[in-house]
A and B are shown apart, each in its own frame.
Chain A
Amino acid sequence: MLLSKLAIFSSLFLFSCSSYLIQAEEIKPENLKCGSSSDVDFYKKNGLFTLVSKNFYNKLKRIDSNFNKDDFNFIYVSNPQSSGGYVLELEKIIKKKDNHQIYFKENKPPEGSSSIAAITATYCFLKIDNLDQVVVFIK
């Protein structure tokens, strides 16, 4: 934990002038929640959502009714897939001068595996300090 804090601090220091990098593993576990959902009303409007988004709070609650607005300030919901088994991973966040660049990676189900046969979307909830404008990259 100490090491993690140190890494975050270092990143902030290194990129303080123009940009700095936050690796996924540096995010506190309570500030990152990724998963998948087959809830039609959750994924029907997908993309990225912040606290100002109309559907932000609703999406939060659809995943877990215990979540509060204070828990996260950014949600990304992927385009729905034909089955389960997809996994969305946060790779890194780059804080630029006037925005946050958030990099996700969506992994397909493992080769030869079976998957639940419901239309499913992956998602990640994030709490990012001093969240600015956001750009999301998916690979």
Chain B
Amino acid sequence: MKNISKILAILSLPLILSACGGGGGSGGAAAGGVGTGTVTNCTDGGGSTHKDTEYDYFSSVYHSLKPLTAVCASSAYARGATGDGIQVAVVDTGIHETHTDINANMIAYTTGSDTVNSDNDASDDHGHGSHVAGIIAAEHNSSGGHGVAYDAEIYGFKAFNSSGSGTDASTGGAFALIEAIAAIDIVNNSWSTNANCTSASTCRSAIGSTTYDNWEDMSQLSTPKITVFAAGNDSEDEPSAECQTMAYNTDISAVSICVVAVSHSSLGKDGGFLASFSNQCGKAASYCMAAPGDRLLSLRHNSNGYVYKNGTSMAAPMVSGGLALVMQEFSSLTPAQVVSRLLSTANDSGEYSQTAIYGHGMMNLNAATTAVANLQTINGSNLLDDPSTGYNDLVNNTFTSSAAFSNALTNALAGQTMEVYDSFDRANFETNVSSFFTSGSYTSQNTVENHMARLQPKTMEKVKTKNLYGNFTVETDGNYIESSMFQSAGDFLALGFNQSTNSFENAVDPLSGFFNDSNFGNNYLVNPYFHAGSGQDYFMSFNSNSSFGMDTFTNANGNDLGLAFNLNPLSSTSGDAKNAGDLQIVLGTNYEQNKFLNSSSTGVFATGDMSNTNFTGVKYKKNLGDDFTFVGSGFAGYTHIDKASNSYIDKSTPLLTSTFTLGLAKANFIKKNQRIGFFINQPQRVEDGSLNLRVPTSSDRDRTVTYSNLNVDLEPDARQINYDIIFHKAVTETSNLSANLTHVQNGDHSNSSKDQNFISLFYKKTF
């Protein structure tokens, strides 16, 4: 027995030497600089290094699959791309369809799917086809690894015999069957013809007329099939005849990719260079890319086990799987655009910049599933490519909502998504509708800063000048004019600039004086439909005999225009000032340009020029004895939202809003120089009404967009009530002490808001 071994050892040398040529794995570096550059992958669109770590939820499986890390598959998975809904045909030696790691993704063999034996059983009698199918769509389950597109579905076609050889009739026949199955999106061809061709006709001769013609037919369908071909393993400068065909047939090249193989096992160590056996992209460079093809682990055909294989056969299904991910992720892309996106986003830096070798470079599924250019909203059109369709960069689409309904809006938009589009190819990306919305907040009125402002006595110096018609009042703060008002005597006339309140508060309201002429109460008592705050608001007030008045309001931007009629059936100025009451009834209207209820918006969320609110209100003040004063106000409004053309804000029902304040103030509280007040206030709130958003939610490969209606009831789920206690003490003539306690219940009308308390103390001494 030992003798036999010796002889075997001796004989093995001439046997190896006498073996036929073309041996794999011994090709060495191909011409053109293979291995001369640096290799990186998983770069994002901006080119910065991106580590492939987003896929930590099944890292142990994923990271054992080096080819997947090499193409940054985890980034695509993290974005939800798994190949679900995409169907891939594998034209090969058949498939072990009952393998437990792919059987759930297998489509039942179609009639005639074995074109070698002309029967319906495309089972695998070689092992190659099962391995290829597993690289595409082996399941993500508890056994083994998984395919690039582990939720894709596989159609098996047996066009190669048990030796791995196919004929024009068998491959062409498979193509004819595939052409007739509309559901098939991608056709993987891990096979090749080792021949050169220099024109469409010579390529047709090289690969066989039936195969060529049927391949061309598949490419010319209204929804063409994407075809992926292996470049071949002959270590040559030119790829297979099938890949070369792409250079001479534009219908085919529009939806085809040729794949060369890199040695993934050396990624990060020796460089991830072109595998020694792989052909280069050569004349097919414009339709060619690289993917791992060296030592890939995938399905065995005669058991539920796994096996390693080498070849561009293994690189091609990596790309087919990548196409399935891109195709699933972007339903708006045509098959040609899916191909273009995968090619365009390949890593072509460093080593992969050598076009003749790597074509577009190394497949990068992170970049392929990321925006290539600016993401934009569509302007309401249903047609992605229509010349009249407009797009807006995301930053130009905003909605800043009023706290009167922001809680309802936030709740309604939670989890709601819409589509935006990459300006590169209009690939559809999903984004949260809420990402465009900013909520206003009432509780910000109770920050320490605002408390302090409320408590702080005005530093303004009132300068009054008598003239022929009455008094002219200018209030200054330092060198800045804060407000001015021309005020007539007798029959009241006021012309104001930068006033934050209206005639009632300015001219009649004793509370201003009561609280040391502070701003306290203004936010609660002013007309809530005249949205001041720009700092340059203008208004005019006319008041005749205290029984009838008119307020007008606009602001510097011209966005608001308001008019209110005030009826004063009771007035303390005309009767017993000690016990008389002041009553004012307000009727008015307000127009807001490109906003409503002070909610501003732009882009696809814009509103029209003439949103209108009709409102009514009542204000009442009555002295209750010498020291007590009761105040109350209430407003209600009815808002019609003006629709802007192409806006996602589609239809709305009128919004009914309310506001109220009740207060009690006491002078000479315990001591003469002390005052106290208690107020209850409900900020403006929507009581009824809704808004309909019509947002794009899906798009199809025919480049049409479907919109969905999102009806939002704008009534918040709670009612905010503010409780305010204010105390003021004049310590000396030149110093005073103030305190403000505010308790806020259901802040911003939200029942999820915790009660908030704000306490401020203020002491001021003038030197």
A residues within 8 Å of B by Cβ? 35-41, 46-48, 50, 52-53, 62, 64-65, 78-87, 99, 106, 108-110, 112-120, 132-136, 138
B167 adjacent to chain A (CB < 8 Å): yes
- The answer to whether A47 and B126 touch across the interface, beta carbons within 8 angstroms, is no
Q: Is the CB of A119 within 8 A of B24?
A: yes
* Contact between A138 and B92, CB atoms less than 8 A apart: no
Q: Is the CB of A134 within 8 A of B7?
A: yes
Whole-angstrom CA separation of A110 from B4 in the bound complex: 36
Return chain A residues, CB-CB under 8 Å to B308. Answer: 39-41
Q: How far is the CA of A132 from the CA of B316 in the complex (A)?
A: 45
Q: Nearest 9 pairs between A and B by C-beta?
A: A84-B164, A119-B24, A79-B19, A118-B311, A117-B230, A85-B165, A116-B164, A118-B313, A82-B233
> With A85-B163, A115-B165, A135-B11 as given contacts, are A79 and B310 in contact (CB-CB < 8 Å)?
no
Residues 5-41 of chain B, each 1 if its beta carbon lies under 8 Å from chain A, else 0:
1011001100110111011110000000000000000
Beta-carbon nearest neighbor of B230 in chain A:
A117
A-B pairs with beta carbons under 8 A, tally? 191
Given the known inter-chain contacts A81-B23, A114-B193, please indicate yes or no for A38 contacting B233, CB distance below 8 A: no
Determine whether B467 belongs to the interface, using a CB cutoff of 8 Å to chain A.
no
Give which listed residue, A82, A85, A116, A138, contacts B15 with CB less than 8 A. A138
Q: Are B8 and A134 in contact (CB under 8 A)?
A: yes
Contact A119 B191 (CB under 8 A): no
Bound together, the chains give a CA A38 to CA B300 distance in angstroms of 11
Whether the Cβ atoms of B20 and A52 lie closer than 8 Å is: no
Contacts of B234 in A (CB 8 A): 82-83
Judge whether B16 and A47 touch: CB under 8 Å.
Answer: yes
- Give the Cβ gap from B398 to chain A, nearest Cβ, in Å: 53
Is residue B225 within 8 Å, beta carbon to beta carbon, of the partner chain? no
Asked if B295 lies at the interface with its beta carbon under 8 angstroms from chain A, I say yes
Q: Smallest CB–CB gap between B13 and chain A, Å?
A: 9
Q: Are A120 and B4 in contact (CB under 8 A)?
A: no
Task: Kindly identify, within residues 298 to 330 of chain B, every residue whose CB is under 8 Å from any CB belonging to chain A.
Answer: 302-303, 305, 307-314, 316
Asked whether A117 lies within 8 Å of B1 as measured between CB atoms, the reply is no
Residues 89-104 (chain B) with a chain A CB within 8 angstroms? 92-93
What are the residues of chain A within 8 A of B134 when measuring CB–CB?
Answer: none
Quick one: which of A79, A106, A116 contacts B23, CB cutoff 8 A? A79
With contact pairs A116-B128, A118-B190 given, residues A85 and B164 touching in the complex (Cβ less than 8 Å)? yes
Name 20 A/B residue pairs within 8 A (Cβ), A-sorted.
A35-B162, A36-B126, A36-B164, A38-B127, A38-B164, A48-B8, A83-B192, A83-B232, A99-B7, A106-B20, A114-B160, A114-B165, A114-B211, A115-B192, A116-B128, A116-B311, A118-B233, A118-B313, A133-B3, A136-B15
CA–CA, A40 to B128, complex, Å? 12
Using known A-B contacts A39-B127, A84-B128, A134-B7, determine if residue A47 contacts B15 with beta carbons closer than 8 Å.
yes
**Residues in A neighbouring B164, C-beta threshold 8 A:** 36, 38, 83-86, 115-116, 118, 120
> CB-nearest residue of chain B relative to A116?
B164
A53–B310 alpha-carbon span in the complex (Å): 25
B residues sitting closer than 8 Å to A (CB atoms) are 1, 3-5, 7-8, 11-12, 15-16, 18-20, 22-25, 92-93, 126-128, 131, 160, 162-168, 171, 190-194, 206-208, 211, 230-235, 240, 242, 277, 295, 302-303, 305, 307-314, 316
Inter-chain contacts of A40 with B (CB < 8 A)? 295, 307-310
Contact A82 B165 (CB under 8 A): no
19 extra A-B contacts, CB within 8 A, seeds A35-B126, A112-B193, A115-B164: A38-B309, A46-B16, A52-B5, A62-B307, A78-B19, A79-B16, A80-B23, A80-B25, A81-B24, A82-B23, A83-B192, A87-B165, A109-B165, A110-B165, A113-B167, A114-B168, A133-B4, A134-B7, A135-B11
- Asked if A81 and B309 sit within 8 Å, CB to CB, the answer is no
Residues of B within 8 A of A132 (CB): 4
Residues of A within 8 A of B92 (CB): 116
Residues of B within 8 A of A86 (CB): 20, 163-164
Least Cβ distance of A114 to chain B in Å?
A: 5
In the bound complex, how far is the Cα of B668 from the Cα of A81, in angstroms? Answer: 106
Contact of A117 among B25, B126, B302, B311 (CB under 8 A): B311
Contacts of B1 in A (CB 8 A): 52
Contacts of A50 in B (CB 8 A): 4, 8
CB distance from B275 to the nearest CB of A (A): 10
- A84 with B126: in contact, given A38-B310, A113-B165, A134-B11 (CB under 8 Å)? yes
Chain A positions within 8 Å of B168 at CB level: 112, 114
Closest Cβ of chain B to A96, distance in Å, is: 12
Q: For the complex, give the distance between the alpha carbons of A84 and B233 in Å.
A: 10
A41 and B307 within 8 A (CB)? yes
- Distance in angstroms from B456 CB to nearest chain A CB is 81
Residue of A nearest to B190 (CB): A117
Chain A neighbourhood of B19, CB < 8 A:
78-79, 106, 138
Task: Determine how close the nearest CB of chain A comes to the CB of B259; give it in whole angstroms.
Answer: 9
Cα distance, A38 to B130, chains bound together (Å): 12
Q: Which residues of A contact B193 (CB under 8 A)?
A: 112-115
